Structure 1
C-alpha cells in the first residue's frame, strides 16, 4: 500500500508529507484547494509529462516521493522482474523536476521514466474524473473482459499472438514473391549477370592485399631506387665520403696504437664488427638494387587487376570474402527463382496451414472470452444494482472481425438498458456521464477482487450523483476498501462518512503566497468537515448533529454489514 507521500514545491504546494493508512482514505476540501494538484503529483510517478510550469514560483525544483509497503506476492514478482528489490518490503519512487527535465529514482537509484512507470503501474491504479469515458471505446471494453478472465484468456491471447506473428511473416514473404513473368525474367537475368561477373573475375582469398603491396612497390620504384642508391653511396667503400671507407680508415689508425695499450683492444674489436656489418649491409643493398627491375607490362596487369577487384568491391562488398558471401546469396535467390512456381505453391499451402492454426486459436480465444463474458455480465448487473440502478440489464455483444489481429477476431460491445422495457443499446447511446462513472466504479469493484494492485485512487467518482445513489456509491467504496487501500477525492458527505482515515486539503495565505496543505482529521474534525459538505458555508448545530449521525451510521455499517 501507499504508506507515505512527500510533495515539495509543486504548484501551490510548498511542502507536504502525508501518512496514509489501510482501507478507505478520504480526501476532501474546498473547490480550488489543490486536490487535483495532489492527484497530479501521483500521476507524475506514473509517467505523466513534466513542465517547468509545475515548479512553485521562485523554487529551484519540484519533488514528488511515494513510499510503498509491498506485501502482495504478485507485485513483488513484477518488481523483481523489473530488477527492483524492496528494502524491508518498501519501495521508494521519486521524481525531481528541474526546468522541464526530471531525475527519476527507485530506492535511490536513477531510473528512466519507463522504468518508473512500470514499477508504479503494479503498485497503484488511478481512476481520474474522465477515465470513465474510455468505457465508450470497444478496445477498452475488450481489455476489461480480458482483465476479468486473465487466468485463461491471457495464455490463449499469447497463443493467438504467436500464431498471428507466423501468419503475418509468411504473408509478407508471399507478397514479396508476387511478380509476373516479365519481372521474373528480368530478375533472373540480373542475378545471372551478377553471379557470372563475380565468377569470371576468378577471385582468390587475399589476392587484393598482395596486388596492392606489389602495385605500391612498382608505382614507387624510381623513388626506391634513388633513395637506396644514395644510401649505398653513404655507407659504401667506393668514395672517401662513404661510411665504409671512413670506418676502414679509422681501423688502420687504431691498428697503429693498439700494440701500445692492451685496453684499446676491445674498442678495436667493436670497430671491426661495425666495419663487418657495414660491409654486409652494403653488399645486400647492392644485390637488391641489381635485382630491382621495373616491368611496365607487369605494372599494367597489376593495375588492371586491382581496378577490376575494386570495381567488384564497390558493387558487391568491401572485401573479397564479402563478395563471395554476396554471390552465395544471389545464387540462392536464383535457385528460388528457377523453382518459383514450386516455391510459390509451397508458400501458399504453408500460409493456408498457418491461417487455419490462427483461426483455430482465435476461435478458442473467443470461446474463452464468451465463457467469462457471461460471468462478467451477471457481476456487472449485480454491481450496478448495488449502485442504485434499480432495473438494469447488461450484455456483452460479440461479433467477428473480417481480418485477423494479434488479439484475436473478437469485436465486442457493451450493451445496457437502464429502464424497464428498453432494448439493450451501446453505452454511448444510453448513459449519462454520472451513470458511466458508476459503471466504471462497478467494474473497478469487480476487478479489484481479481487485481494484484494494492492501492486504488478515485478522483471524484461521485460526479453527477447525489442522494440514495451517493449512499450506494459510498457503500461500494467501503466494500472495495475491505480488500484494497483506497484513496478517494470526494465532495459528497455520504462517501466521506465511510472514511477509515479522513484528510482535509485546504488553501490559505501565508504572507503574500497561497499555500496548499493537507492534514489528517480526528473524529470531531472529520464530523465538522462532513457538516461543511452537508451545509455549506454556515454550520448550524442541526447540521453538525446530522453529520455526527451520518458518521455513526457509516461506522455501524462498516462494523456489521461490510465485515
Structure 2
C-alpha cells in the first residue's frame, strides 16, 4: 500500500506531506483546488511525462516521493533482479526535476525510466480518464482477457513468443536462400573467393597485436640502438668512470684490503655478485643490440604481414574474430549453395514443423481465452448490474485472424447492450464517457481478487453519474477497498460519505502566491465537507442533516 506522499515545489504546490491508510481513502476539494495536480504528481513520480511548467514559480526544482509498504512476491523478485536494496518491505520512489531533467531513485539507488516503470507497475494502478478511454480501442481487449487468464495463459504465451521468433528466423533464412541459378553461381564464386582469401592468410588470434608491437619496435630501431649504446657506455668497461669500470676497480681494491681485515670479505662477496650482474646485463644488452642491427629483413616481413591483415580487416571486419566469423559464415553458406535443393527441402521441412508447433500453441491459447472470456464476461455483467446498469447485456466475442502472431491468432470485441430490447453492439460505438468509467470500474472489481497490485487510484471515476448510480459506484469502491488500498478523487457526496479516511485538498492565496495543501478530516469536518458538496455555496441545517445521514448510511452499508 501507499503509506506516504510528499510533494515539493510542484506546480502550485509549495509542499504537502500526507500519510495514507488502508481501506478507502477519499480526496475532495473545491474545483481548481489542485486535485488533478495531486494525481499528476503521483504519475510524474512513477515515470510520467514532465511538462515545462511543472516546477513551482520561483523554485529551482520539483520533487515527489512515494513510500510504499508491500509483501508482494513479485515486487521482491523484481527488486532482487534489479539489484535494489529491499530489506523491510518498504519501497521509496523519489523523482527530482531540475531544468527539464529528472533523476529517479528507488530506495536511494538511481534507476532508469524503464526500471522505475517496472517497479511502479507492480505497486500501484492508476485509473483515470485516459485508462477508461482505452476501452474504446479493441486492441486492448485481448490484453484484458489474458490478464484475467494469466495463471493458465502466461506459460503458453511465453512459449508461443519463443516458438514464433524461431519460425520468423527460419523464414528469414529461407528468404535469403531463395535465389535463381545465375545468382546462386555468382554467390558461390564470390564466397569461394572470400573464404580462400581468408583461409590462405592463416590468421592466428592475437597475431595482429603482436605484429603491431614488433612493428613499433623495429620502426624505431635506430632510436633504440642509439639509446642502448649510451646505456652500454654507462654500464660497460670501455669508459673511465662507467659502472663496469668502477665496479672492477672496487673489486681489486677490496681484494687487497681483505688481507688486513677479514670482515671485508662480506663486502667483497657482495661486489662480486654485483659485478656478475653487471657483466650479465652488458652481455644481454650487446646481444639485443646486435639482433636489432639485423632488423631490416624482419621489418619487411612484418610490414607485409600487417598490410595483409589490415587489408582483410578493411574488407571483412575490425578484428581477427570478425574476419574468422565471416569465413565461417561463408563456409556455411557455401555448403548450402553446393547442396541447394537439399538445403531448401530441409529448411522447408523445419518451417513446416515449426508452423505446426506455433499453430498448436495458438490453438491452446485460444481455448484458454475462449473459456476465460465466458467467465470474465459473466463476472463483468454481474459487476455492471451492481453499478446500476439495470438491464445490461455484456459479452466478449473472440474471432480468429487469418494469420498468427506472437500473441496468437485471436481478435477480441466487447459487445454491450445498455437498454432493454436493444441488440448487442460494439462497446466503443455505444458507450458514453460515464458508462465507460463504470465499465472500467466493473473490470477493476473483477480483477481485484486476481490482481497482486495492492494500491489503486481512481480519478474521474464519477464522470457523468449521480443519484442512485453514484451510490452504487461508492459501494463498489468500498467493496474493492476490503482487499486493496483505494485512493479516489471525487466530487460526489455519495462516494465521499463512504470514506474510511477523508482528505481535503485546499487552495490558499495571499494575493501574490497560491498554495495547495492537503489534510485529513475528522468526523465532523468530513460531514461539513459532504454538506459543502451537497449544498454548494449555501449550507443549511437540512443539508448538514443530509450529510450526517449519508455518513450513517455508509457505515451501515460497510457493516452489511
TM range (shorter): 0.7 to 0.9
Q: Aligned residues, how many? A: 548
Give the C-alpha shift of residue 291 in structure 1: 11
Q: How many angstroms apart in 2 are the aligned matches of 1:186 and 1:482?
A: 73
Moved more, 309-318 or 101-110: 309-318
The answer on whether the counterparts of 1:498 and 1:551 sit within 8 Å (CA) in structure 2 is yes
Q: How many angstroms apart in 1 are the aligned matches of 2:382 and 2:465?
A: 19
Give the C-alpha shift of residue 120 in structure 1: 2.1
- Map of 1:339 onto structure 2: 339
Q: How many angstroms apart in 2 are the aligned matches of 1:281 and 1:379?
A: 92
- Against the structure 1 CA distance between its residues 94 and 214, is the aligned structure 2 distance closer, same or farther, given a 3 Å change threshold? closer
- Map of 1:558 onto structure 2: 558
> Deviations 1:29-51 (Å, cap 9, x if unpaired)?
11000000111111122211234
Unmatched tracts of structure 2, length 5 or more: 266-273
The answer on whether the counterparts of 1:2 and 1:455 sit within 8 Å (CA) in structure 2 is yes
Equivalence map 1:490-509=2 (5 Å):
490-509=490-509
The answer on whether the counterparts of 1:218 and 1:294 sit within 8 Å (CA) in structure 2 is no
Q: Does 1:449 align with 2:452?
A: no
Q: How many angstroms apart in 2 are the aligned matches of 1:546 and 1:347?
A: 77
Which secondary structure state, in structure 2, belongs to the residue aligned with residue 54 of structure 1?
coil
Which secondary structure state, in structure 2, belongs to the residue aligned with residue 461 of structure 1?
coil
Q: How many angstroms apart in 2 are the aligned matches of 1:32 and 1:9?
A: 17
Q: How many angstroms apart in 2 are the aligned matches of 1:509 and 1:439?
A: 39
Equivalence map 1:127-166=2 (5 Å):
127-166=127-166
- Against the structure 1 CA distance between its residues 345 and 285, is the aligned structure 2 distance closer, same or farther, given a 3 Å change threshold? closer
Unmatched tracts of structure 1, length 5 or more: 267-273
Q: How many angstroms apart in 2 are the aligned matches of 1:145 and 1:61?
A: 42
- Against the structure 1 CA distance between its residues 193 and 397, is the aligned structure 2 distance closer, same or farther, given a 3 Å change threshold? same
- Against the structure 1 CA distance between its residues 242 and 276, is the aligned structure 2 distance closer, same or farther, given a 3 Å change threshold? farther
Give the C-alpha shift of residue 142 in structure 1: 1.1
TM-score (norm 2): 0.84
- Map of 1:269 onto structure 2: none
The answer on whether the counterparts of 1:236 and 1:282 sit within 8 Å (CA) in structure 2 is no
- Map of 1:529 onto structure 2: 529
- Against the structure 1 CA distance between its residues 3 and 181, is the aligned structure 2 distance closer, same or farther, given a 3 Å change threshold? same
Give the C-alpha shift of residue 426 in structure 1: 0.8
- Against the structure 1 CA distance between its residues 50 and 422, is the aligned structure 2 distance closer, same or farther, given a 3 Å change threshold? same
> Deviations 1:79-115 (Å, cap 9, x if unpaired)?
4444445444322222222222223222233333333
The answer on whether the counterparts of 2:218 and 2:295 sit within 8 Å (CA) in structure 1 is no
The answer on whether the counterparts of 1:392 and 1:418 sit within 8 Å (CA) in structure 2 is yes
Q: How many angstroms apart in 2 are the aligned matches of 1:325 and 1:332?
A: 10
TM-score (norm 1): 0.83
The answer on whether the counterparts of 1:215 and 1:302 sit within 8 Å (CA) in structure 2 is no
> Deviations 1:168-200 (Å, cap 9, x if unpaired)?
111111112121111111111112223334455
Q: How many angstroms apart in 1 are the aligned matches of 2:354 and 2:479?
A: 47
Q: How many angstroms apart in 2 are the aligned matches of 1:4 and 1:279?
A: 80
Which secondary structure state, in structure 2, belongs to the residue aligned with residue 130 of structure 1?
helix
The answer on whether the counterparts of 1:51 and 1:101 sit within 8 Å (CA) in structure 2 is no
> Deviations 1:146-183 (Å, cap 9, x if unpaired)?
11111101122112112112111111111121211111
Q: Who wins on radius of gyration, i.e. which is larger?
A: 1
- Map of 1:470 onto structure 2: 470
Give the C-alpha shift of residue 499 in structure 1: 0.9
- Map of 2:269 onto structure 1: none
Give the C-alpha shift of residue 533 in structure 1: 1.1
- Map of 1:270 onto structure 2: none
Q: How many angstroms apart in 2 are the aligned matches of 1:94 and 1:8?
A: 11
Which secondary structure state, in structure 2, belongs to the residue aligned with residue 410 of structure 1?
strand
